[in-house]
Structure 1
Amino acid sequence: MHVQIVLFDGFDPLDVIAPFEVLHCGGAASGAVSVELVSAEGPREVVGGTGGLALRATAALDPGHADLILVPGASGRVGEPHEVSGNDAGAGERPRDESIPVLLGRALATGLPALLKEAMDDPDVTVAAVCGGSLLLAMAGLLEGRPATTHHLGLELLGAAGAEAVNARVVDDGGLVTSAGVTSGLDLGLYLLEREVGPRIAHAVEELFAHERRGTVWRAQGPVPTGL
Structure 2
Amino acid sequence: MNRRKLLRASTAIGAAGAMAGVTAAPAAAAPVQPVQETGGPLRVHIVMYDGVEELDFAAPYEVFSAARFFTDREIDVRYVTASGPGAVQAAYGTKVRVEHGWAPRTADVLVVPGGGYARHEGPGVRAEIARGTLPRALASAVRPGLTVSAVCTGTMLLSAAGLTKSRPCTTHHKARPDLEQQGGLLKNARVVDDGDLVTAGGITSGLDLALWLVRRELGADVATGVEVMLEYEARGTVWTPPAPRPR
| TM bracket (short chain) | 0.7 to 0.9
The C-alpha deviation readout for 1:134-169, integer Å capped at 9, x for no partner, is 011112322110110111111111111111111210
Specify which structure has the higher proportion of helix. 2
Find the partner of 2:97 among 30, 36, 56.
56
Matched, 1:107 2:149: no
Does the residue aligned with 2:79 lie in a helix, a strand or coil? strand
* Counterparts of 2:182 and 2:160, CA distance in 1: 6
Does the residue aligned with 1:64 lie in a helix, a strand or coil? helix
- So what's the TM-score if we normalise by structure 1? 0.83
Q: For structure 1, which runs of at least 5 residues remain unmatched after alignment?
A: 86-97, 224-228
Paired amino acid for 1:11: V
Corresponding residue for residue 15 of structure 1:
56
Please identify the structure whose Cα radius of gyration is greater. Answer: 2
Q: How large is the Cα RMSD of the aligned pairs? A: 1.8
Offset at residue 110 of structure 1 (A): 4.5
Find the partner of 1:40 among 62, 75, 82.
82
Offset at residue 197 of structure 1 (A): 0.7
Does the residue aligned with 2:203 lie in a helix, a strand or coil? coil
The C-alpha deviation readout for 1:51-83, integer Å capped at 9, x for no partner, is x1111211012111111110000136x25xxx4
Find the partner of 1:74 among 103, 115, 119.
115
Corresponding residue for residue 219 of structure 1:
240
Corresponding residue for residue 171 of structure 2:
150
- So what's the TM-score if we normalise by structure 2? 0.77
Structure 2 contact 116–126 (Cα < 8 Å) conserved: no
Offset at residue 28 of structure 1 (A): 3.7
Corresponding residue for residue 89 of structure 1:
none
Corresponding residue for residue 35 of structure 2:
none
Q: For structure 2, which runs of at least 5 residues remain unmatched after alignment?
A: 1-41
* Counterparts of 1:133 and 1:25, CA distance in 2: 23
The C-alpha deviation readout for 1:14-40, integer Å capped at 9, x for no partner, is 000001000011124324321000101
Corresponding residue for residue 90 of structure 1:
none
Offset at residue 222 of structure 1 (A): 4.5
* Counterparts of 2:82 and 2:45, CA distance in 1: 11
Structure 2 contact 135–160 (Cα < 8 Å) conserved: no
